[in-house]
Amino acid sequence: MNFDNQSSKKPEPLHKMNNLASVSLCHVCGIENAQVHYGAMCCVSCKMFFRRNAQLNLSNRKCVTNGKCNITIKSRKTCRYCRLKKCFTIGMQRELLRASHNRQGTRCKLTRKENAVRLTSTVHPLDLLQNDRSLLKNEQWTCLSNVIHLFDEKFPVPQMRNLLGAQSIFPMKIRMKMAPTNMLTLLNAMYQGVYPFATSITHFTTLPLNDRSMLIERNMRNIGGYSGIVLSRDADVHSSPIFKIGFPEIYGSQVMDDAIKIYKNTDQDSTLVKLLIPALIFSTGSDLLLPINESKCDHFENSCHLLSNAKQILEMQNFYVEILFKYMVFRYGFKEAAIRYAALIKTSLDQSMCSLNGREVRKHKQLMDTIVEQTEHSMASQNETVLY
């Protein structure tokens, strides 16, 4: 399937990037037009920063926020410790620095004997895919960038932050009373982002209406809960009174404990979590829950349980899984990529079980019924618009 040809049918601002340089973001500060330097994707500024500071011993340094600074284009000069730590985290390697430069960038005069000692004393780890870390093609880099931008655009982190901020003006007694309602509002926002995100993916829009409806019905709970991990992290939901008071009042303490455990165990690289979501959208059997409209289906052979072309959908899923895994190999090497990928799948399954445990909660069931009904209505309306 030609991704670029399909994307031209439905132009998006995200599709204006014409080459790898323009769609690649610096993995340290987030600025555009990054390239591979010292083993990772970064901008020129972060490249020069790493070159100057790579030999620093982080164990002898301190950070006023205990290493939790958020490194962006605006804040990258405020904390050398966190910026350098992030450089190492994304895969930048001291070994790739030119041996003829010291950390100030000046040339060192080494005798022939010193060079010989240096070369023989350097032991590089075995990495069979070291030369294959740029396997992602340009169209795959474009798709990867589009997925990340679509997630940030379609899922409502700013609205969630605004809701959390608005509650701070109320007295604690009122906040406690409003917590369950506001928690449902936050959950609704998380799940409402699934459909706009899915329909912005070109592969999804090419499927028949019945297939799109079945995939959304099967996977919305899991995707909404899974994406909610990143949304909660970005909006800092778990530290708010709305979550601490409202969530256990709705779901009970056990489901809350499970949710917090999943949240803490999820990979800290949010890009990986976001890249798995398209693969979950095209999943034909990951949902541990029964379809909502069970009354429509008297037996398994009923058409509402069948997809028109399961093989085609699996090929679409493989397309996004391949992008995710190649990106992980690019970032972390093959061994670490395999470990992280397995952890992502485990997180997805754990989230499915958590959703299963919360399914019988009346308020949650009402929320999900409303969301699915609205989504199906939107899909039907969109299909009618296309036909006419």
For 276, the token pair is 């798995």
For 94, the token pair is 């001291």
pTM recorded for the entire structure: 0.58
Beta strands in the chain (DSSP E): 35-37, 40-42
| Domains along the sequence of the chain with CATH | 3-124 (3.30.50.10), 138-387 (1.10.565.10)
Print pLDDT tens along the chain (388 aa). Answer: 444 444 444 444 444 444 444 457 889 988 888 888 888 889 989 998 998 888 887 777 778 777 788 888 888 888 888 899 898 888 888 878 764 344 444 444 444 444 444 434 343 443 434 444 457 888 888 899 899 988 888 887 888 888 877 777 777 777 778 888 888 888 888 888 888 898 889 899 888 888 888 888 788 878 888 888 888 888 888 888 888 888 888 888 888 888 888 888 888 888 999 999 999 999 876 444 444 444 444 333 333 457 788 888 989 999 999 999 999 988 888 889 999 999 999 988 888 888 777 666 777 667 776 776 767 666 666 654 443 3
pLDDT of residue 325: 92
Say how far apart CA 111 and CA 348 lie, in whole Å. Answer: 55
Tokens 């895994």: give the residue: 325
Say how far apart CA 155 and CA 273 lie, in whole Å. Answer: 14
* Phi, psi (degrees; rounded to nearest 5) at 73: -60, -30
Cα separation values, 130 from 22, 39, 41, 322, 326, Å: 25, 10, 15, 18, 12
CA angle 301, 371, 250 (to 5 degrees): 110
Half-sphere exposure of 17 (CA within 13 A, CB side): 20
pLDDT of residue 109: 45
Q: For 305, which DSSP code?
A: G
Half-sphere exposure of 82 (CA within 13 A, CB side): 16
* Residues 231/155, Cβ–Cβ less than 8 Å: yes
Q: CB neighbours (10 Å) of residue 21?
A: 12
Digit-coded pLDDT (tens) for 142-195: 899 899 988 888 887 888 888 877 777 777 777 778 888 888 888 888 888 888
Q: Which has the closest alpha carbon to 279: 312, 317, 223, 228?
A: 317
Digit-coded pLDDT (tens) for 214-245: 888 788 878 888 888 888 888 888 888 888 88
pLDDT of residue 23: 52
pLDDT of residue 142: 87
Dihedral sign from CA coordinates of 149, 195, 239, 178? positive
* Residues 42/27, Cβ–Cβ less than 8 Å: yes
* Residues 218/287, Cβ–Cβ less than 8 Å: yes
